[in-house]
């Protein structure tokens, strides 16, 4: 690993001030579970690493019972995370283990808990943070190997096209076929999460779904964040009565990333789906909203036939590469099972 300067800012503003505008020259580090691997493999060699462990790590769940009568802004430092509309605020430095074990999160956001408790191993969940998980870099083995100067690293070709592509994308159209790696992003987008981003000119909020970019929009990075911006919080709306679930398929029950992960959130009117969000992970370069499936579900009572129809719609635009046709069937099954699970039906 190349020698680097280590900066230990006391708070989010100092952290942003220690970053710079040139991509990969100065990098933030939270738990280091991903970044240290990239540095050891010489995929990135920053001159300076900025520690983010001192960012807010709290998880605050708004209790709807205490909300009546409350007005005005709430939140910690710099008015972070106004909670006028209720909901939950998760500090970017919160550990995955703390998220998965949080009693109220477990009650209100089951799809998020399922995804968080499946990440890696207990050691990874004890070190990895929410912000780092959302910002982790892709796992494509050509990207992770310094010998391959592929398109994403400024080269002229994508080695996955004619090479080993069994874990690569079936949706998203290239020219780079990475799959989005964050398990948390999938349920968070299903729940309509927003993120608070801090940069040199202040803080802004955006939909988490809008954070991620396809390779044809941004080949060298994966998000809209500038090199001197950081995620400080995730903001989740109160779930109301929505029914939700995640379902993933793995090669084996190991600590590896899923082959497909699907999160579903159903807003119900009695037994009828009023509106649905279906988000797929590990199948496209970004967390993929399956809007065709959402349209199938709207206005229906969920049963197996409806789930099958929605699952078919979710993968209708999928295209296999030379070695990953199996992922289309896997994704279809994961969508069907996530819908059935969210609806409280038996998984078939």
Ligand X SMILES: Cc1cc2nc3c(=O)[nH]c(=O)nc-3n(C[C@H](O)[C@H](O)[C@H](O)COP(=O)(O)OP(=O)(O)OC[C@H]3O[C@@H](n4cnc5c(N)ncnc54)[C@H](O)[C@@H]3O)c2cc1C
Residues in the site for ligand SF4, rule: CB under 6 A?
138, 140, 142-143, 150-152, 158-160, 168, 176-178
User: Residue 176 binds which entry of ligand SF4, ligand X, none, with Cβ cut-offs from 5 to 8 Å by kind?
Assistant: ligand SF4
Q: Specify the stretch interacting with ligand X by CB under 6 A; choose among 116-124, 172-180, 266-274, 286-294.
A: 116-124
Query: Between residues 126 and 145, which has the closer beta carbon with respect to ligand SF4?
Result: 145
CA dist., res. 345 & res. 330, Å (int): 20
Tell me: does residue 212 bind ligand X (CB under 6 A). no
CB of 46 to ligand X, least distance (A): 9
Nearest approach in angstroms of CB 43 to ligand SF4 is 10
By CB under 6 A, residue 56 contacts ligand X: no
Does residue 298 belong to the site contacting ligand X (CB under 6 A)?
A: no
Q: Which is nearer to ligand X, 167 or 257 (CB)?
A: 257
Determine if 246 is a binding residue for ligand X (CB under 6 A): no
Give the separation between CA 212 and CA 134, rounded to whole angstroms: 10
Q: Where are the beta strands (DSSP E) in the chain?
A: 5-7, 26-29, 48-51, 59-61, 88-91, 194-199, 202-207, 230-236, 243-249, 260-269, 272-281, 288-289
Do 13 and 198 contact (CB within 8 A), yes or no? yes
Pairing of strands 48-51, 26-29: parallel
Rounded distance between C-alpha atoms, residue 254 and residue 71, angstroms = 47
Report the distance separating Cα 22 and Cα 44, nearest Å.
Answer: 13
Question: SS3 for 60?
Answer: strand
Question: Which of 222/229 has CB closer to ligand SF4?
Answer: 222
Residues that bind ligand X (CB under 6 A): 27-35, 52, 92, 96, 119-120, 124, 127-129, 131-133, 135-137, 181-183, 230-231, 255, 257-258
């Amino acid at each position: 690993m190349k020698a680097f300067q280590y900066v230990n800012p006391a708070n989010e503003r100092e952290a942003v001030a220690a970053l710079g505008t040139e991509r990969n020259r100065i990098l933030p580090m939270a738990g280091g579970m991903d970044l240290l691997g990239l540095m050891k493999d010489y995929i990135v060699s920053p001159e300076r690493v900025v520690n983010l462990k001192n960012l807010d790590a709290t998880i605050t769940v708004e209790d709807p019972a205490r909300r009546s009568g409350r007005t005005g802004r709430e939140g910690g430092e710099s008015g972070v995370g106004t909670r006028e509309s209720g909901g939950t605020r998760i500090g970017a430095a919160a550990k995955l283990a703390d998220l998965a074990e949080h009693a109220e999160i477990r009650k209100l956001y089951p799809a998020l808990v399922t995804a968080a408790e499946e990440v890696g191993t207990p050691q990874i969940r004890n070190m990895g943070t929410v912000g780092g998980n959302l910002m982790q870099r892709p796992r494509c083995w050509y990207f992770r190997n310094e010998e391959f100067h592929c398109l994403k690293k400024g080269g002229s070709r994508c080695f996955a096209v004619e090479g080993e592509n069994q874990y690569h994308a079936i949706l998203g159209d290239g020219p780079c076929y990475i799959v989005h790696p964050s398990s948390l992003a999938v349920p968070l987008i299903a729940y309509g999460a927003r993120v608070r981003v801090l940069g040199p000119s202040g803080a802004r909020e955006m939909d988490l779904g809008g954070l991620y970019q396809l390779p044809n929009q941004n080949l060298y990075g994966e998000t809209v964040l500038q090199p001197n911006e950081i995620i400080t919080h995730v903001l989740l709306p109160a779930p109301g009565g929505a029914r939700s679930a995640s379902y993933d398929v793995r090669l084996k029950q190991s600590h590896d990333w899923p082959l497909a992960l699907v999160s579903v959130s159903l807003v119900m009117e009695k037994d009828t789906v009023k509106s649905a969000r279906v988000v797929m992970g590990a199948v496209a370069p970004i967390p993929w909203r399956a809007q065709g499936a959402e349209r199938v579900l709207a206005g229906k009572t969920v049963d197996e036939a409806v789930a099958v129809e929605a699952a078919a719609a979710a993968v209708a635009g999928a295209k296999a590469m030379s070695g990953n046709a199996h992922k289309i069937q896997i994704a279809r099954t994961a969508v069907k099972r996530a819908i059935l699970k969210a609806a409280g039906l038996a998984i078939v």
